[in-house]
Structure 1
Amino acid sequence: MAPHSDAPSPTGSFTAGFNRIPPFQDVATPALHISTLEPHSPLSSSYSSSTSEPSGFHITRPLVPGVYVPTLCFFEEGTEDLDLDTIARHAVRLARAGVTGLCTQGSNGEAVHLTHAERRLVTATTRKALNDAGFAHMPLIVGCGAQSTRETIQHCREAWEAGGDYALVLPPSYYASLFAPASGTVFDFFTAVADASPIPIIIYNYPGGAGGLDLSSDVIIKLSEHPNIVGVKLTCGNTGKLNRVAAATRAAAGKSYNPEKPDFLVLAGSADFTMQALIAGGHGILAGLANIAPRACVRIIELYHQGRIAEAQALQEVVARGDWTAIQGGVVGCKSGMQGWMGYGGYARSPLPKPTPEQARAWKEGFRELVLLEKSL
């Protein structure tokens, strides 16, 4: 749902466990333990959680091709405290729609508006909701990018402690003009993070969210050789780059390449080029529009793999038109559209603006065709 190059952009440190990474445990019992919040913290809500140890979160959940959703973060109206009930219900709604995995703290999850403790709580709430609803097998990706290598590693460790399986990492960009030639600094950054992270890394290439920094296919292919870097999300919309990365990583796997469980997952970053990504050798999408229309996104991929190309193309056209509304409105427009059609969504956290009544009507209308398609599936 992040803007492509042809669309304008829409308008306390937690350190517990940073120096100690507990070993992975292959158990499946869901559990939730958040020690960062006091019982009567204003961040707490009516969504209940157990106080057992967090080891139950950590089972093997491989990345497989399909639809991954960067989930929205929901807030209580008026206070802007986390709305954990809605966060949990939304995660289960998406899982029941047939998506492959979820991602917290992505661009649509307003990670930049959350504290470390809140980010952990959102992830842990999502993991527990999935487990309790019978989706303990579903992988959970967590956005972990930060401007320093140190804090990025901290986010990765905290994501693991909260139940995350993979870390989605945006490259740092604030001092991009001081980076080494040919992205040497970016390569060193991802290597250092991957070396230290307790969970595998997915590269997040989103120039719109990284001050225009756009990783080349050469850099991504080189980084894919690291054993703890297992995928890339390409929100740049460059299908040529996607093709080069997919082909190179598939060739590197050789005879061991398994299309149902690739060693390196190549994902489109927006739903409006789902089919193009599949044709170019990609494995699916990690796209914000699936918050609104998960079944439609899943169905495009199903039809494509069944060889029903004309039907897939017809759905892709509707999804692309709906995604243009999402791209123009960003997280504000997406939440407004969800509120209009589904009765929940609310507002983004300040300083993002609340939509005017005119904007709310326009965004609802912009999603009409897509929502009607979704309801028909």
Structure 2
Amino acid sequence: MQPFFGTGVALVTPFKKDFSVDTEALVKIVNHVIDGGVEYLVVLGTTGEPATLTEGEKELVIDTIVQANNGRLPLVLGVGGNDTAAVVAELKTRDFSNFSAVLSVSPYYNKPTQEGIYRHFSAIANASPVPVILYNVPGRTSSNVLPATIIRLANEFENIIGVKEAAGDMVQAMKLIQMKPKDFLVISGDDMITLPMILAGGAGVISVIGEGFPKEFSEMVRLGLQRKTDDAYALHYKIADSIDMIFEQGNPGGIKQIHKALGLSENTVRLPLVEVNEELAGRINSFVKSLGY
């Protein structure tokens, strides 16, 4: 489980202006984050806009990242949904030889009970040939996975190794850390509270801002894990404003604007998402320049 300590990044899917997948830009972004010092990559998470990708495009994204990574870092694949049977079918048929784990989001829209969430993830744990990281993001799913449900799953299934906790609730995160089995990973899914979660006993982060400024953010995380608090918070406050900005008009529009400012890709997103407006783009561009990029 050591590969999942530190900073993982939820990679975007860059598009050209004609909305086709930009594989050249994706290679640039993969190299950008690896050179920046992150510990692992998450493929086709929410930030990768999988909801608007065809099955063929998803395979193109996977193949491009696997080839660009070339075995340098562990890869985690997003495999989740609100149809348990469909998720299980994918887990049973997909080739996971290039992946170290899956990240599986709690079912969205259906709004299941805690028992329904437990049974959903039980089915996933039984079907998955690789370790499973749960993903709790109630702001997107409209359903909070309570600490008791996560701990129940962690205790009953050895291959459920952690949770990406993105409720934005430090009290809930601390309860998870307090109650978890010894080797279970509580991973931040909120960039802004990553450092306090680490200092409370968390294992790191699956980040969005970390694929914009990987050097600064991954170093902050490492310093936090080393309990070098003052140095870690100095880096946190250096980039904190950018975290607010990239989520101000939705994800991944903000991080794609950073990538455009860095010369890595266009800022194109697919409907129903739209690119950030000119005013926010200007502030993001100014921030990127202020960091010396």
> Could you tell me the TM-score, scaled by structure 1's length?
0.72
Name the CA distance, whole Å, in 1 between partners of 2:224 and 2:20.
41
Change (3 A) 1:119 1:162: farther
Counterpart in the other structure of 1:69 = 9
Q: Deviations over 1:298-355 (max 9, x none)?
A: 1112333444322211211123221001111321122123212335243012332234
Pick the aligned partner of 2:274 from 346, 353, 357.
353
Counterpart in the other structure of 1:30 = none
Counterpart in the other structure of 1:309 = 229
Alignment coverage as a number of residue pairs:
291
Name the CA distance, whole Å, in 1 between partners of 2:12 and 2:93.
19
- Confirm or deny that 1:331 pairs with 2:252: yes
- Kindly indicate whether the alpha-carbon contact (under 8 Å) linking 1:141 and 1:168 is maintained by their aligned counterparts in 2: yes
Name the CA distance, whole Å, in 2 between partners of 1:170 and 1:237.
16
Counterpart in the other structure of 1:85 = 24
Secondary structure of the residue aligned to 1:232 is strand
Counterpart in the other structure of 2:87 = 152
- Confirm or deny that 1:217 pairs with 2:134: no
Name the CA distance, whole Å, in 1 between partners of 2:270 and 2:97.
22
Change (3 A) 1:228 1:101: same
Counterpart in the other structure of 1:94 = 33
Counterpart in the other structure of 1:45 = none
- Confirm or deny that 1:117 pairs with 2:117: no
Secondary structure of the residue aligned to 1:63 is helix
Counterpart in the other structure of 1:319 = 239
Secondary structure of the residue aligned to 2:168 is coil
Name the CA distance, whole Å, in 1 between partners of 2:31 and 2:227.
30
Change (3 A) 1:357 1:328: closer
Change (3 A) 1:309 1:166: same
Q: Which stretches in structure 1 are left out of the alignment for 5+ residues?
A: 1-60, 254-262
Counterpart in the other structure of 2:284 = 363
Change (3 A) 1:339 1:168: same
Pick the aligned partner of 2:106 from 143, 164, 171.
171
- Name the stretch that deviates more: 338-347 or 198-207: 338-347
Secondary structure of the residue aligned to 2:202 is coil
Name the CA distance, whole Å, in 1 between partners of 2:199 and 2:76.
25
Secondary structure of the residue aligned to 1:342 is coil
Counterpart in the other structure of 1:25 = none
Q: Deviations over 1:223-277 (max 9, x none)?
A: 112112111001112222222222333xx34xxxxxxxxx322111122112201
By how many angstroms is 1:196 displaced?
Answer: 0.8
Q: What is the percentage of aligned positions where both structures have the same residue?
A: 24
**Aligned pairs (5 A) from 1:256-335:** 263-329=183-249, 330-335=251-256
1:142 maps to amino acid: L
Q: Which stretches in structure 2 are left out of the alignment for 5+ residues?
A: none
Secondary structure of the residue aligned to 1:142 is strand
By how many angstroms is 1:69 displaced?
Answer: 0.2
Name the CA distance, whole Å, in 1 between partners of 2:248 and 2:188.
18
Q: Deviations over 1:24-66 (max 9, x none)?
A: xxxxxxxxxxxxxxxxxxxxxxxxxxxxxxxxxxxxx853310
Name the CA distance, whole Å, in 2 between partners of 1:203 and 1:195.
14
- Confirm or deny that 1:233 pairs with 2:164: yes
- Kindly indicate whether the alpha-carbon contact (under 8 Å) linking 2:198 and 2:225 is maintained by their aligned counterparts in 1: no
Name the CA distance, whole Å, in 2 between partners of 1:270 and 1:367.
21
Name the CA distance, whole Å, in 1 between partners of 2:287 and 2:138.
25
Greater C-alpha Rg: 1
Name the CA distance, whole Å, in 2 between partners of 1:147 and 1:335.
27
By how many angstroms is 1:97 displaced?
Answer: 1.2
- Name the stretch that deviates more: 195-204 or 343-352: 343-352
1:81 maps to amino acid: S
- Kindly indicate whether the alpha-carbon contact (under 8 Å) linking 1:105 and 1:111 is maintained by their aligned counterparts in 2: yes
1:111 maps to amino acid: P
Hey, which of these two has a bigger chunk of helix by percent? 2
Name the CA distance, whole Å, in 2 between partners of 1:288 and 1:160.
26
Q: Deviations over 1:98-127 (max 9, x none)?
A: 100000111211111112232222122211
Name the CA distance, whole Å, in 1 between partners of 2:54 and 2:47.
16
Name the CA distance, whole Å, in 2 between partners of 1:309 and 1:230.
27
Q: Please report the RMSD computed on the Cα atoms of aligned residues, expressed in angstroms.
A: 2.1
> Could you tell me the TM-score, scaled by structure 2's length?
0.91
- Kindly indicate whether the alpha-carbon contact (under 8 Å) linking 2:92 and 2:128 is maintained by their aligned counterparts in 1: yes
